[in-house]
Each structure stands twice: as C-alpha cells, then as structure tokens.
Structure 1
Amino acid sequence: MTSQPRGGGDARRQYQLVADRIRALIETEGIADGARLPAERDLALQLGVSRPSLREALIALEIDGRVEIRGGSGVYLCAATERGNAATPALGESPAELMQARVVLESAVITLAAARVTKAGLRRIEDALEAMREDHAHDRKPVEADRRFHVSIAEMCGNSVLVGMVGTLFDGRHSAISSRMSGRAESTHTWQTAMAEHEAILQALEARNPQAAAAAMCSHLLASHGRWIGEPSEAGARRAVAV
C-alpha cells in the first residue's frame, strides 16, 4: 500500500484504515452486537496486518464506542450507535509511528548531547530522574518529570529546534489513542522498569559515551512501546540492536 502525504490533513492513518476494515468485516460476516470478535492472532491473519497495527485499530474502535476490550477475555462488539458504522475518526498519530520517530530523533540527539555534556546539564537530568522517583514514591504518574528528563538531554545539544521536536513528539502520548494505550499498560512495575532504563541512560551520559547513550535510549524507547502493546521488554531490547 502506498502511503499518502499528510500535509493536507486528509490522509488516513494506518490504524484508521485497519479499523475501517474491521468494521467492514463485522458487516460482511454479520457479527451480532455483544458477540466476541475472532482472537487477535486470527483477526490479524485474516486481515493481513501486524498485531501491533491491529491493537491500535481495536483501541481506536473502542474509543469510538464500537467494541469493548475485556482484558483476558477478548474483544466484544458493542451495540451500533448512530455513527457506529461510519469511518473511524482520527485520534492522533499512530503510537507506533510516534515511537519510531522518537527512536530516530532521540538516538541522534543523545549522541550529540553525550559529546557536549556539562555539569549543569547532567544536574538537570539527575533532577528530573529524582523527580520521577519522588512522584512514583507518592503514587503519582511521573509523566511530567519523564518529559523533563528527555527534554533536558536535548537541551545539552544547544539546539532549540531539537528541544522543541523532542518535546512535541513526547507530547504525542497525550493524544486519545496513545493515552488509552499507555493507560492500559502503565503500572507501578512498568514505571520502575522505565526509571531503571533512565538510570542506564544517565550513566552513559556521565561516562560521555555516545554509542552507549544512543543504545540505552533506543532500548528504552522500544521497550516502552513494547510495554504499551503488551510485548515483553526483552523483545524491545532485541529489536533495539537491529535499529
């Protein structure tokens, strides 16, 4: 399938296209309201799409009120609403594509940052990590401190454009589809794991090792996405080697 440019705002995202195909399948096969959809693996094979793409599409359908995702049970068709069979609306950029963009950008950014390390810059990154620990200790989601951690790394590059790009991509997590995916996946354990990954990033920066810093950042971001879509973090780490 040839991708279309998004400059005009009319091009549909991959999860919308897959969600529309699921809607068509529901109509074609006459799946009744309240019935369970085929298992994720079977549905992905039937549609010829990857399971991560399918998960994004199912989340989009859930937000649109067409299906209900029941953890450990499956995906069930909700009663059709007035707009239930309409085209799936845009709910933000694809979480997978956002994370791919972050991997490319932040791996390059941290490579440059590692060559321009300053004591003041390291202190800002350390403070952000400490704020994450403090939030976590008080049962608060450390999202803002997490953002500050990544932006502080970009600030060491001395390039305001890169700082803005890192912040903008991070803020993509607040879109409807990304928020729903992260909300399902985040827990005390996942934040503990993320903070350990942040610690590895900081250590690589302290060592002024660009290669280690880029590898740690890439591994962290891929593992984060793996947690969002329900893949083991080890799988994300293995993929990081190939990026």
Structure 2
Amino acid sequence: MPLQSIEPRRLYRQIADQLRALISQGEFGAGAGARLPAERDLARQLGVSRPSVREALIALEVEGWVEVRTGSGVYVQDRAQRTAEPVAATEWGPLELIRARRVVEGETAALAATLGRRKDVDAMTRAIALMQDLADRNVMPLDGDRAFHLAIVDACDNAVLAETVQGFWDSRNGPIFTRLGGYFETVQSWRRAIAEHHAIRDAIAAQDAVGARAAMHEHMDKSHMRFSASWRRAKRAA
C-alpha cells in the first residue's frame, strides 16, 4: 500500500492515522522492532513538512505504537509490553502551536509595549528571576515561563487575549508536547530562552512596540528550531 499525499488539515493526526494503518498492515516490516523510514523520507513521500511528521511520530510514541531511539531511528513497538497514553483528537501539535503563538504573542508583546505600565514590567522581571532561579537549581523553569507570558498579555487589558494566551501555554501540559519536550528541553536550552525573554522585556520596558514584536518573533522562531533539531542532538527521554 503506497503512501498517499495529505491534505493540509490537522496534519499530524492525518499522518499518524496513515502511519498507524501502515504499521498494522506490516508495510514497514514484520512486527515489533521494524524500523520506519527516516523523518525526511516520510515527509517527502507524504508531501508534508518534517515538523508535521515529527508531531505525528511523537503522537504514535505516546500511544504506544512506536519507540523513538535518539541517534538510531523510530521503531515499531510491541504494544503488549507498553501502556499507551491516549492522545485527544483535539490536541494541538506542539510545533504548529508555536507558530500560532508567534502570530498572537508577537502582537501582545507590541501591545504591552504601548499599553503596559511599570507594574507589568515588574511582573515580567519577577518571572524572569523565577526562571533563572529554577534553572540555577537544574529545574525546568516552566512556572516562570508561564508567569512571563501571562504578564505580557495582562498588560494588554484584554480578557479574550488573556484567555487565548493562557490556553496556548497550558496546552504544553498535553502528552505530545510533554514527550517532545522530554527529548529537546534541557536546562541549557532554557538558559538560551531566558536570554530571549530578557530581550522581550527590555523592548517592552522601552515602549518599543516594533522591537517587542520582533523579539517575541525571534523567541518563537528559536523555540521552533529547538524542537525541530536533529534527533542526534536530542537527549534520551527519561
């Protein structure tokens, strides 16, 4: 059964469904331990981007269909020996989410630079300090990151934007984003993100809307790059 091209509509779910069917039919080899084609080859055959394929593979790993072995490849998993974690059909793909956040949060940063007050900048500064403290203790600074992005949108004084950004950020708690983060998020990568947060805060404090938007775009672009890095650069998930 040849791979079929995919329509650009919630891509990672469509890709995962097609790969799941092919695995069930033994298209990649017989049984557990069969190796799937490389991410770039799957993307080419499906006519989609590599990030979309990555999201699909992570979804399949969460569901117990495959195992990602960093530095080696993606292999069919023996489902009888692993408890699968269900992935809601409505869950957003992490990389697609980051691109959406770039659009929305670029504008909230610009608005914060225009509308924000001293107390808002102080809240951002406290959030960065919390991130730094957690990173210094080798703890992933998720609480500080959430506080930082919510402080920015709070400065916009718009409940719809605030709920939207909170929904974006809280989606990080989903199983796909959590699993992907387990491969690519480290204290070192978070230290780079903290420096990006400083640049955003500084632009907002200077009431530089153009600079704040650009700094947020750069942060989201680099976040996307970190999650899209070669599997050889990934750490082994716990």
TM-score range, shorter chain: 0.7 to 0.9
User: Is the Cα–Cα contact under 8 Å of residues 181 and 227 in structure 2 kept in the other structure?
Assistant: yes
Q: CA deviation at 1:48?
A: 2.0
Identity, in percent, stands at 42
SS at match of 1:204: helix
Ranges in structure 2 where 5+ consecutive residues have no aligned partner: 1-6, 231-238
Q: How does 1:1-243 map to 2 (within 5 A)?
A: 1=7, 3=9, 13-26=10-23, 27=25, 29=27, 31-32=29-30, 33-81=32-80, 90=89, 92-230=91-229
Q: CA deviation at 1:160?
A: 2.3
Structure ranking higher on relative contact order (CA contacts 8 Å, 6+ apart): 2
Supply the distance in 2 between the matched residues of 1:98 and 1:165 (Cα, whole angstroms).
Answer: 12
User: Aligned AA for 1:211?
Assistant: V
Supply the distance in 2 between the matched residues of 1:89 and 1:171 (Cα, whole angstroms).
Answer: 15
Match of 1:236 in 2: none
Q: CA deviation at 1:25?
A: 3.0
Q: CA deviation at 1:97?
A: 2.5
Give the number of equivalent residue pairs.
220
User: Is the Cα–Cα contact under 8 Å of residues 128 and 194 in structure 2 kept in the other structure?
Assistant: yes
Supply the distance in 1 between the matched residues of 2:123 and 2:106 (Cα, whole angstroms).
Answer: 19
Q: CA deviation at 1:50?
A: 1.2
Q: Which moved more, 1:154-163 or 1:89-98?
A: 89-98
Q: CA deviation at 1:18?
A: 0.2
User: Is the Cα–Cα contact under 8 Å of residues 28 and 36 in structure 2 kept in the other structure?
Assistant: no
Ranges in structure 1 where 5+ consecutive residues have no aligned partner: 4-12, 232-243
Supply the distance in 2 between the matched residues of 1:100 and 1:129 (Cα, whole angstroms).
Answer: 23
Q: CA deviation at 1:224?
A: 0.9
Structure 2 vs 1, CA of residues 163 and 89 (structure 1 numbering), >3 Å: closer, same or farther?
closer
TM-score normalised to the size of structure 2?
0.85
Q: Which moved more, 1:99-108 or 1:211-220?
A: 99-108
User: Is the Cα–Cα contact under 8 Å of residues 197 and 219 in structure 2 kept in the other structure?
Assistant: yes
User: Aligned AA for 1:206?
Assistant: A
Q: What do the CA deviations read for 1:39-72 (whole angstroms, capped 9, x no partner)?
A: 2222222222211111111111111111110000
User: Aligned AA for 1:25?
Assistant: L
Structure 2 vs 1, CA of residues 143 and 216 (structure 1 numbering), >3 Å: closer, same or farther?
same
Q: After the TM superposition, which parts of structure 1 deviate over 6 Å for at least 4 consecutive aligned residues?
A: none
TM-score normalised to the size of structure 1?
0.83
Structure 2 vs 1, CA of residues 53 and 2 (structure 1 numbering), >3 Å: closer, same or farther?
closer
